[in-house]
Structure 1
Amino acid sequence: MPELPEVETVRRGLAALVIGKTISRVTVTLGRIIRTPDDVEQFKLMLEGLILDEVSRRGKYLLLGVGPYTLVSHLRMEGRYGLYRAEDPVEKHTHVIFHFTDGTELRYKDVRQFGTMDLVPRGDFSSLPGLQSLGPEPLDESFTSEVFAGQVRKRRSGKMKVLLLDQTFVAGLGNIYVDEVLFQSGVHPETAAPQLSDEQVTRMHAAIVDVLRRSVELGGSSIKSYVNGYGQEGGMQHQLRVYGMERTPCPQCGVEIVKTRVAGRGTHFCPVCQPEPKA
């Protein structure tokens, strides 16, 4: 958390709230959040007086266009943004504040302190291998069934649960939506890529697009602490069919949902609707 739908929801909120604002100064109270440049004071000086003119996304990364730079923000586990008035009390675990000339502030809060920020030349991500190596963007029109099938057929091994979590395979999916995608496509999480039929590959592609689009429409899933740029929770958690539903009846067949671990990740599935792959 957050995954693609949550980051996209944050992106949309920030685009409506902060585009066109001018940064007067920046406050950083936890230096390790700032990775690039490696001098926090330089980071602050580089942003002073610049206009925040774009908010985009790639996978789980937020990309904020600021003058000649792109601020790459990776929220990781619990990073969140919110727009406040300068006189509003600063909450605990607020580590970066972008002060705007109009008296408002964009504040970054991160209880777990795993989030990162990199300020790089506009559109130049060569110093960020994690961003550069991302796989196809699943909500982009270019992510066709044929493209996904090509990704699958290149893999001679690998459980689908693990592959779908691999950001170089498909960008933006995390544990919640991988479980939902596998259930919707009727594929057991331990099915290896070569074991998939053409029909299963087609179903899985459709499930990826459908699950992510529905979640974006509902503002993402507020499983733990996620809220959007307005401080509002998402609604997708009320429509999850298997994730977090262990020991409850499967919505399709009524058999109890099982929770296990695949590659160290908690994994939810229906043993009837998602039969084990044949050896």
Structure 2
Amino acid sequence: MPEGPEIRRAADRLFKAVGGQPLESAWFHAPSLKPRQRELVGARITAIDTHGKAMLTRFDNGLTLYSHNQLYGVWMIAQAGERPETNRSLRVALETEKTAILLYSASDVALWQDAELASHPFLSKLGPDVLDKRLTAAQVARRLHESRFARMSLAALLLDQAFLAGMGNYLRSEVLFEAGIAPTRDAASLSQDERKLLASALLEVPRRSYRSRGIRKTAGMRAEYITDTPDGFAFKVFDRAGEPCPECGRRIRRRELAGRRLYDCAHCQH
């Protein structure tokens, strides 16, 4: 599943393609949304925001389109009236005079009034977005100290979207390595200095990934993480089992923790 930085970059590309332009047409696959297609005709997209892995397409008529890619969803951009050659199922099509943005293979799509969006059943359970510029390391450190999170293993906590939205599997491995902390520890066991290190890494690593405009291909990397960006975010440990740690040179290991694969250095992460 794409993680917060990838969803935010997708939102940036979509808004650049259609932002501020009146919609010539709107189409939904879901029968429940078809009667609302005409509400979007003539509306302009004022922003495409993200909260964690959810995307929020905001219109100037007080409506917001909520979508979540889940495992297989993907947004594409095409010329108006054209559709890319793909075996995926089209779920949403929003078209301006010149450009179409198209959502394929995602089933979690809804249209909400802006004023009611805070009560959305998924969004209302999310923690702060790791890419939110207003979120500080001090605030993250305080969340690590909260009783509802403190007894969870870090391997599980860093995948919990109620803790911080937008975190995911590659970010989990990279954040813990950056902080030099073992994934089997829980937040309650961290010293004050360790909480500060982890809180800083929880903001810096996802933001660095977002700024890098993609993930750079390295040996052993799985295809779903590859982009064509030559200067993208490079993994230090994720998907590098058996390769040398960039800090100490010892072999990186792969483990299954909290139901997902995790990569770490037994020597550098205490």
What is the TM-score normalised by the length of structure 2?
0.87
Question: 238, 244, 253: which one pairs with 1:249?
Answer: 244
Task: Give the C-alpha shift of residue 240 in structure 1.
Answer: 0.4
Task: Give the C-alpha shift of residue 124 in structure 1.
Answer: 2.2
Distance across 1 between alignment mates of 2:112 and 2:225? 27
- 246-255 or 119-128, which deviates more: 119-128
Distance across 1 between alignment mates of 2:231 and 2:182? 22
Q: Where do residues 55-94 of structure 1 align in structure 2 (5 Å cutoff)?
A: 55-66=48-59, 67-86=61-80, 88-92=82-86, 93-94=88-89
Question: What is residue 42 of structure 2 aligned with on the other side?
Answer: 49
Report the secondary structure of 1:129's partner residue: coil
The answer to whether the Cα contact below 8 Å between 2:55 and 2:67 also exists between their aligned partners in 1 is yes
Q: Where do residues 42-191 of structure 1 align in structure 2 (5 Å cutoff)?
A: 42-66=35-59, 67-86=61-80, 88-92=82-86, 93-110=88-105, 113=106, 115-155=107-147, 156-191=150-185
Identity of aligned residues (%): 28
Report the secondary structure of 2:24's partner residue: strand
Q: CA offsets per residue over residues 155-175 of structure 1, 9 Å max, x none? A: 341101111111111111001
- The structure whose RCO (Cα within 8 Å, separation 6+) is larger is 1
Q: What amino acid does structure 2 have at the position aligned with 1:263? A: A
Q: What amino acid does structure 1 have at the position aligned with 2:108? A: T
Distance across 1 between alignment mates of 2:264 and 2:138? 26
Distance across 2 between alignment mates of 1:184 and 1:218? 17
Distance across 2 between alignment mates of 1:98 and 1:242? 38
CA RMSD of aligned residues (A): 2.3
Report the secondary structure of 1:23's partner residue: coil
Question: 212, 221, 246: which one pairs with 1:218?
Answer: 212
**1:27 matched to 2:27:** yes
The answer to whether the Cα contact below 8 Å between 1:242 and 1:257 also exists between their aligned partners in 2 is yes
Task: Give the C-alpha shift of residue 17 in structure 1.
Answer: 1.1
Q: Where do residues 4-15 of structure 1 align in structure 2 (5 Å cutoff)?
A: 4-15=4-15
Distance across 1 between alignment mates of 2:213 and 2:138? 28
Report the secondary structure of 1:125's partner residue: helix
The answer to whether the Cα contact below 8 Å between 1:4 and 1:59 also exists between their aligned partners in 2 is yes
Task: Give the C-alpha shift of residue 138 in structure 1.
Answer: 2.3
User: Judging changes above 3 Å, is the alpha-carbon distance between structure 1 residues 234 and 44 closer, same or farther for their aligned structure 2 residues?
Assistant: farther
User: Judging changes above 3 Å, is the alpha-carbon distance between structure 1 residues 123 and 217 closer, same or farther for their aligned structure 2 residues?
Assistant: farther
- 202-211 or 98-107, which deviates more: 98-107
Question: What is residue 34 of structure 1 aligned with on the other side?
Answer: none
Distance across 2 between alignment mates of 1:212 and 1:109? 25
Distance across 2 between alignment mates of 1:126 and 1:27? 25
Gaps of 5+ in 1: 32-37
Distance across 1 between alignment mates of 2:257 and 2:223? 22
**1:272 matched to 2:264:** no
Report the secondary structure of 1:146's partner residue: helix
Report the secondary structure of 2:97's partner residue: coil
Distance across 1 between alignment mates of 2:247 and 2:91? 46
Task: Give the C-alpha shift of residue 50 in structure 1.
Answer: 2.0
User: Judging changes above 3 Å, is the alpha-carbon distance between structure 1 residues 131 and 46 closer, same or farther for their aligned structure 2 residues?
Assistant: same
- 18-27 or 87-96, which deviates more: 87-96
Distance across 2 between alignment mates of 1:142 and 1:200? 22
Distance across 2 between alignment mates of 1:165 and 1:60? 12
Q: CA offsets per residue over residues 210-243 of structure 1, 9 Å max, x none? A: 211211111233854479xxxx645677610111
Gaps of 5+ in 2: 217-221
